[in-house]
Amino acid sequence: METATHALHTSSEPSYNLWDEIVGEARAEKRTYLLEPECKRLLEELNIQTTGYEVARTAQEAVAISENIGYPVVLKIVSEEVVHKSDSGGVRLNLPDAASVRSASIDMLEAFKDVNIKGISVQTMAKPGTEVIIGVTRDPIFGPVLMFGLGGIFVEVMKDVTFRILPIDEQEIDTMIQEIKGYPLLRGYRGHSVDLDSLKTLLHKISRLVMEHPQIRELDLNPVICYPDGYVVVDARIFVDSKVSSLPAAQKRTDFHDFFYPKSIALIGASDTKGKLGYNVFNNLVNHHCKARLYPINPKCDVIQGVKAYKSLTEIEDSIDVAIVLVPASATPAAVEECCRKGAKHIVIESAGFAELGEEGRRAQEQIKGVLKKYGCRALGPNCAGVINTHHNMVQSIGIVKELGKGNIGLIAQAGVYAAGILWGLRHIMDFGIVATIGNKLDINETDILHHLGNDDNIDVICMYLEDISSGRRFVEVAKEVTRKKPTIILKSGRTDAGKKAVMSHTASLAGDDTINDIAFRQSGIIRARNNDHMFDLARAFAKQPIPANNGVLVITYTGSLGVAATDTLYLNGMRLGELEPELKTRLREILPGYVQSLNPVDYSFTMNAAELRKTIEIGVDSADIGSFIVVCQTEILDTFTSELQQIDYKGKPIMTCVPCKEFAMDAVVRLEKLGFPVYSNPEMAAEALSVMYRYGTTKEAQFSAVQQKKAG
């Protein structure tokens, strides 16, 4: 490998004097970016190998430098007015001798005579190798994001890159390198390989550089040429902000147990008049037999829905765990302050008319925020529909909610009406434990509630519908903890316009807003849903059935075409058809019609009956290679299957059912769902649900193993 001509420093990180000197000079010249020689100087102080540089001011100096460092060389224009050097003709490559250097220098100086030139950077021409790109962009929600991928055509055309939110550890860097499509080229191909250890070290150093210098807005090392022994950074670009984008301080985590399991609830704005929202909320609390002591507040009433009413909170001698505020927006700040003075631990502001309506509403929200900070109180909302906790018989919804079963699914929803509509229908086939609507997120946000649900023993599966994310870095931190214990599925909408960003680097241009969302979810272990149906299809699978122990599946069907569809989807998603042991094949053949040849998928055609289905599943349960089942049921006789399926001991092996045109047999579908068997309209979704569950299980095991190894080491 060629060595850099500029002297390398030995410190492990750029000295603050050097950093301040270089950034200070850029700011003095009103530049938001560092010149390439400045970037390389910073990198070299990190012991990052570059092609080096010496700046010539004349053609004669360029020749002298070239003679000193050796040919071939590269010439690059150095000017604060030329950011994209290659695009404007400011780069000359592979110059072999003095004559070519002299000629190229004269041409470049003439071509850029109308701009302010600091000189021409003369650099060693790097030997051919494998090109990669490393970059960083700073996302407004999640903070600094690291990018890695193959360089050249692979990044320009194929966009073979991957991202991680910083900071990351060595294991994450290793995974990052391995997940690009071009990884085989790095690992070794036809005698060519890359020094992966030095590449990982480089990624780690860049991560540290960015974390320690929050002024860095964007960074590109492109290309970095990798060799069997080491690497060299050929070109570098760093953009800085005038204002420091410091990372948010770690927030103290609040214990929200009394918020979800309060001993006392006061409702400011309770009503005895049907049709009013204050009537609906209190009616839900009373009729669902909430386990908390209830205190309706209304200055005009003595009794509300059979419960003693109070003129104000001051009349209540009891302490208040949760105060629900449901009064006009104009009266809400005063009501919130009254709750705080009373010492309420938590406030749910269901009132609307705040930031969602414009500037005046935002100012009102800020006023409330000041009150909360003054008293140290936590609040949910405004513009929300409160919290439902079926394990506490607590329903704070503004709409009348009918009977609910106690369930193991937690739902976090940014929109109250969304949650109400979902709950109205899905309560027939899904049992929710906690439903929390967060509204405008004045204080309590999705991360606070996610943290609680992750530690609530009544919740096994978490769903989230979000339009935006607050405190993205904390969200990722908490989600990593939660997903190690519980599957978490998110439906993210409300995507912002990535075109509004000031994009200067390759990294930022490739890292659109939704790309960063994807990375954040994947990095934190969250499963991203395509739409509502997809989210709740997955949630039902996790909530009702165990996670597959292996990826072998037994498909049982009454029609071959749907068996083929299931098989295709299984293999496309990393699953496979399981293989029955010889003695189990013999048992299966004894109950199969003579015309059935395939033992997986098992196609009974229209002769399938409930008894045969049960026997077939029991044979699969006894197989070590069968980890789960897909059962395609005949819609016309669906009712006949429920009692037989109910009696099966499937010993921890999940069963997914498929009922084509299930909407025309909903009574039977609901009965099957209530028995704990998710019912899907097509076998593809059943197969996908199994694959997602299996991947979650294997990832969870791998994370546990890594933690144990780290502890042991």
Q: Is residue 20 part of a domain?
A: no
Among 62, 1, 67, 33, which residue's Cα sits nearest to residue 234? 1
Q: Is 595 exposed, middle or buried (0-12, 13-18, 19+ CB in 10 A)?
A: exposed
Last residue of a domain, one of 540, 566, 586: 540
Q: Is residue 453 part of a domain?
A: yes
Distance CA 202, CA 429 (A): 52
Beta bridge partners of 133: 149
Same domain, 361 and 325: yes
Among 229, 27, 28, which residue's Cα sits nearest to residue 127? 229
Kindly list the distances between the CA atom of residue 601 and the CA atoms of 521, 581, 588, 652, in Å, as whole numbers in the listed order. 35, 15, 12, 21
Whether the per-residue pLDDT at 10 is higher than 60: the answer is no
Same domain, 513 and 414: yes
Beta strands in 337-487 (DSSP E): 346-349, 378-380, 387-389, 394-395, 409-413, 432-437, 461-466
Pairing of strands 602-603, 628-632: unpaired
Same domain, 530 and 503: yes
Model confidence at 97, pLDDT cuts 50, 70, 90, reads very high
Share the mean pLDDT of the chain.
Answer: 89
Confidence at residue 712, expressed as pLDDT on a 0 to 100 scale: 47
3-state DSSP assignment of residue 628:
strand
Q: What is the pLDDT of residues 483-522, one digit of tens each?
A: 999 999 999 975 544 433 444 455 555 555 688 899 999 9
Same domain, 505 and 525: yes
Which of 712 and 263 is assigned the larger pLDDT? 263
Q: What is the pLDDT of residues 440-467, one digit of tens each?
A: 999 999 999 999 999 999 999 999 999 8
Same domain, 525 and 611: no
Same domain, 378 and 516: yes
3-state DSSP assignment of residue 442:
coil
Confidence at residue 504, expressed as pLDDT on a 0 to 100 scale: 46
Contact, 325 vs 332, CB < 8 A?
A: yes
Same domain, 551 and 606: yes
Q: Is residue 408 part of a domain?
A: yes
Pairing of strands 236-240, 264-268: unpaired
Same domain, 658 and 611: yes
Domain span at residue 668 reads 547-698
CA 89 to centroid of chain Cα atoms: 41
Same domain, 314 and 359: yes
pTM, two decimals, is 0.88
H/E run at residue 544: helix 532-544
Q: Is residue 569 part of a domain?
A: yes
Least reliable range by pLDDT among 199-203, 213-217, 594-598 = 594-598
Among 500, 523, 504, 525, which residue's Cα sits nearest to residue 513? 500
Same domain, 536 and 492: yes
Last residue of a domain, one of 487, 508, 540: 540
Q: What is the pLDDT of residues 157-191, one digit of tens each?
A: 678 899 999 999 999 999 999 999 999 989 987 76
Q: What is the pLDDT of residues 362-415, one digit of tens each?
A: 898 999 999 999 999 999 999 999 999 999 999 999 999 999 999 999 999 988
Q: Is residue 626 part of a domain?
A: yes
Cβ count within 10 A of residue 118: 13
Whether the per-residue pLDDT at 691 is higher than 70: the answer is yes
Q: Is residue 36 part of a domain?
A: no
Same domain, 572 and 614: yes
∠ Cα 71 151 224 (to 5°): 45
Q: What is the pLDDT of residues 113-143, one digit of tens each?
A: 988 899 999 999 999 999 999 999 999 889 9
CATH code at position 491: 3.40.50.261
CA 36 to centroid of chain Cα atoms: 34
Beta bridge partners of 304: 307
Contact, 194 vs 214, CB < 8 A?
A: no
Q: What is the pLDDT of residues 17-30, one digit of tens each?
A: 888 899 999 888 88
Confidence at residue 511, expressed as pLDDT on a 0 to 100 scale: 59
Whether the per-residue pLDDT at 292 is higher than 60: the answer is yes
Tokens in use for 681? 């309209």
Kindly list the distances between the CA atom of residue 108 and the CA atoms of 55, 59, 78, 370, in Å, as whole numbers in the listed order. 14, 9, 11, 60
Q: With the C-alpha atoms ordered 549, 550, 551, 553, is the resulting torsion angle positive or negative?
A: negative
Last residue of a domain, one of 540, 573, 589: 540
Q: What is the pLDDT of residues 176-185, one digit of tens each?
A: 999 999 999 8
Confidence at residue 389, expressed as pLDDT on a 0 to 100 scale: 97
Q: What is the pLDDT of residues 416-433, one digit of tens each?
A: 777 877 888 888 889 999
Whether the per-residue pLDDT at 523 is higher than 80: the answer is yes
Give me the number of domains the chain comprises: 2
Beta bridge partners of 147: 135, 163
Confidence at residue 340, expressed as pLDDT on a 0 to 100 scale: 97
Q: Is residue 62 part of a domain?
A: no
Distance CA 26, CA 34 (A): 6
Beta strands in 584-704 (DSSP E): 602-603, 628-632, 655-658, 679-680
Q: Is residue 142 part of a domain?
A: no
Same domain, 506 and 555: no
Confidence at residue 7, expressed as pLDDT on a 0 to 100 scale: 34
